[in-house]
Amino acid sequence: MTDSDPRPPLHILAFAGSLRAASYNRMLLRAAQELAPEGMEIEVFDISGIPLFNEDVEQAGVPPAVAAFRDAIAAADALLIAVPEYNHGVPGVLKNAIDWASRPPRRSPLSGKPAALLGASPGQTGTARSQTQLRASFVFTNTPVLPQPEVLVFRAHEKFDAEGRLTDEPTRAFIGKLLVALADWTVRLVR
């Protein structure tokens, strides 16, 4: 995008599937904000206020935190999701948020919304299994997920400093490539 380009910046809504303060996945999103290419802005949404999904609650009235999450997804050009891995799967807090956002089926804000995934874990496989699992859920929600690059940040404890800044240069470069690919994916799909 150039100065003469009349289009507004791509607005990316990012969220991480971990609630802990020192979360590597939340740190990844901070790094993504630093690394966003020209013409892209990344807003981080905190999913900690989203209650456990319950269809009875949904029918009685969508909770404000869920409405805010759905509205933020609807307003974004694309999503960036930092996916931790628990027991070879998607952590409950993240799956729960996705389940709320997936309603109503086929008319949810997730339908047609471009998305990209990344994830960090201290282990050797860097969230490969949980990312694959989330991709499967996104088939049902009709959410087109960027195929490549797959950003799997393994041995995460070695890649951030004490202030939570991503210091590993190859990982920073890889996230930069992911964001450029997400911009291209978004423009191709929705602009």
Q: Please select the residue that binds ligand FMN; options are 12, 31, 70, 85, rule is CB under 6 A.
A: 85
Give CA–CA dist 165/30, Å, rounded: 8
Give me the phi and psi of 141, to 5 degrees please: -80, 0
Task: Based on the shown chain and the rule CB under 6 A, indicate whether residue 88 belongs to the binding site for ligand FMN.
Answer: yes
Please count the residues of this chain forming the interface with ligand FMN, following the rule CB under 6 A. Answer: 14
Task: Based on the shown chain and the rule CB under 6 A, indicate whether residue 25 belongs to the binding site for ligand FMN.
Answer: yes
Which residue stretch of 4-12, 19-27, 104-112, 166-174 sits at the interface with ligand FMN (rule: CB under 6 A)? Answer: 19-27
The DSSP line for 63-89 is -HHHHHHHHHHHH-SEEEEE---BTTB
Q: Please select the residue that binds ligand FMN; options are 87, 169, 170, 191, rule is CB under 6 A.
A: 87
Q: Please select the residue that binds ligand FMN; options are 108, 121, 143, 186, rule is CB under 6 A.
A: 121
Cβ-based neighbour number of residue 22 at 10 Å: 9
Task: Based on the shown chain and the rule CB under 6 A, indicate whether residue 31 belongs to the binding site for ligand FMN.
Answer: no
Strand ranges for the chain from DSSP E: 10-16, 40-44, 78-82, 115-120, 151-153
Q: Which residues bind ligand FMN (CB under 6 A)?
A: 18, 20, 23-25, 84-88, 121-123, 125
